[in-house]
Amino acid sequence: MNHYDFASLSLKSGLRNNLSSLGYQQMTAVQAGALPRILDGVDLIAQAKTGSGKTVAFGLGVLQKLEVKRFAVQSLVLCPTRELADQVARELRKLARGVHNVKVLTLCGGMPFGPQVGSLEHGAHIIVGTPGRVEEHLRKGNLKLDALSMLVLDEADRMLEMGFQATLDAIVEKMPKQRQTLLFSATYPDEIRVISKRVMNQPELLQIKEQHSATTIAQSFYYVNDNAERVEAVLRLLLEHRPDSAVVFCNTRRDTEEVAARLREANLKVIALHGELDQRARDQALVCFANKSVSVLVATDVAARGLDIEELDMVINYHIARDPEVHTHRIGRTGRAGAKGRACSLFGDRERQKIERLEAQSQATIRPEPLPTAAVLSSPGYKPAMVCLQLDSGKKQKIRPGDILGALTREDGVAGKEVGKIHIFDNCAYVAVRRHVADQALRTLMAGKLKGRSVRVRKIR
């Protein structure tokens, strides 16, 4: 048995059996490096990219340490965004299936406060949340951390970048000094070293260096003179390669809006994502990109962190990231799991220092390539393969994915293979369907019923 086998770990039988049923046999590099230390009870700083399996690493540690019969908050996982918190909570619930009666509760901003108070009154073993909302519940006395034995800071670099330092300090003040603290981060800036000294006890450092294979990610750099040329360069690259899904990374909110507006003028299906969007608009944007009814997402790093993006064909860096590690993290979103990906980076004279830092990191000379010719600008924009339909019913109306799929595929409906991803929220749901059956799917849902009631349905434009 090698040290990458989950079976080599001293886990509770329920956790071990569940891992086997989930098909988890071999640990990733971060899991193999982190889990033995986590299970030994040491404080740990782990630097690893998104998608490396870190949630399973700290999730198993949290569940192994949990005393189910002790009904109190024993673990707190803090995440920078609601999307990441929801993703982590789902993974924890999946890992906990083999352990009876584990209660995981999410506490995130952008959600109604009252129902969270009610859920806290019923109690929980594990809290997963965003710093602002967790601190608010602590301040108002709804949440008690007296029994806490483990704190996890997930995507800690982004929490600090988003200005949560003071909020984190306020939360840590409310928990026992004797606890295990785990800090996971995609990058390792000086701020991480500072916070680790304040909240951790002699932490060990684990760094899993990210390597991008040239066989899976084709990386190219393009020189541009000014911003007008920069926006046109993005459009040329998209029209030349016509990716089903692409993320354009910008350094500022203003850039995201300007780039998205220009791409829409070229008849591309685009969404801008930045920190000032309200939660409902953000949810809808992420759903439409995830279900392939939007081809291009233009986003800042903070907005795009923690997104669960699968099969991303292309990444475009509108500006080079300030930190070489952030650049590596950006391009690592494409070419995952052996799939082919493309990373294109634009730079001007003012970014020469950033290029030099990237060259030093990669120990290779960066040579700019020619952009696709201007002739490509005369080609028409392209439409995504899917169309997204929004329904006015969700979890609170007891709607499940199977209900929507059944309503769509009834005798006079569409074939199951024409239906894509289904996302369900409290009072609404989204379903993606192939573009050529979108009108038929809309008519089918409007004519039928879900759980015995008619629903309003509309296309997301």
CB-CB contact of 76 with 127 (8 Å): yes
pLDDT in the model for residue 133: 93
Section 1-15 average pLDDT: 78
DSSP at 5: B
pTM of the model: 0.65
Q: What ranges do the domains of the chain cover?
A: 6-207, 217-378, 386-459
Type of residue numbered 59:
G
CB-CB contact of 459 with 387 (8 Å): yes
Percent of the chain with pLDDT strictly greater than 90: 50
Query: Which pairs count as long-range contacts for 211-218, CB under 8 Å and 24+ apart, including other chains?
Result: 212/328, 212/331, 212/332, 212/335, 213/335, 216/335, 216/338, 216/339, 216/340, 216/341, 217/331, 217/332, 217/334, 217/335, 217/340, 217/341, 217/342, 217/343, 218/340, 218/341, 218/342, 218/343
Residues 53, 305, 38, CA angle at the centre, nearest 5°? Answer: 35
When the pLDDT of each residue in the chain is averaged and rounded to a whole number, the result is 88
Section 363-369 average pLDDT: 88
pLDDT 10s digits, 120-156: 998 899 999 999 999 999 999 999 999 999 999 998 8
Section 394-414 average pLDDT: 86
Q: How far is C-alpha 364 from the chain's CA centre?
A: 30
User: For residues 275 and 384, which has the higher predicted lDDT (pLDDT)?
Assistant: 384
6-207 — its CATH code?
3.40.50.300
Query: Given a cut of 70, is residue 339 above it in pLDDT?
Result: no
Section 312-341 average pLDDT: 80
Could you tell me the pLDDT band of residue 231, with boundaries at 50, 70 and 90?
very high
217-378 — its CATH code?
3.40.50.300
Query: Given a cut of 70, is residue 333 above it in pLDDT?
Result: yes
pLDDT in the model for residue 300: 85
Q: CATH topology of 6-207 equal to that of 217-378?
A: yes
User: For residues 303 and 230, which has the higher predicted lDDT (pLDDT)?
Assistant: 230
CA separation for the pair 351, 90 (Å, rounded): 40
User: What CATH class is the domain 386-459?
Assistant: alpha beta
Lowest mean pLDDT among 4-13, 66-75, 123-132, 342-351: 4-13
pLDDT in the model for residue 50: 67
Lowest mean pLDDT among 3-12, 303-312, 320-329: 303-312
CA separation for the pair 239, 342 (Å, rounded): 14
Bridge partners, residue 342, by sequence? 218, 314
The 341-347 sheet, strands edge to edge: 217-223, 341-347, 314-317, 246-250, 296-300, 270-273
Residue 341, both tokens: 């990906």
Percent of the chain with pLDDT strictly greater than 70: 94
pLDDT in the model for residue 364: 83
Pairing verdict, β 180-185 and 246-250: unpaired
Section 177-199 average pLDDT: 88
pLDDT in the model for residue 1: 44
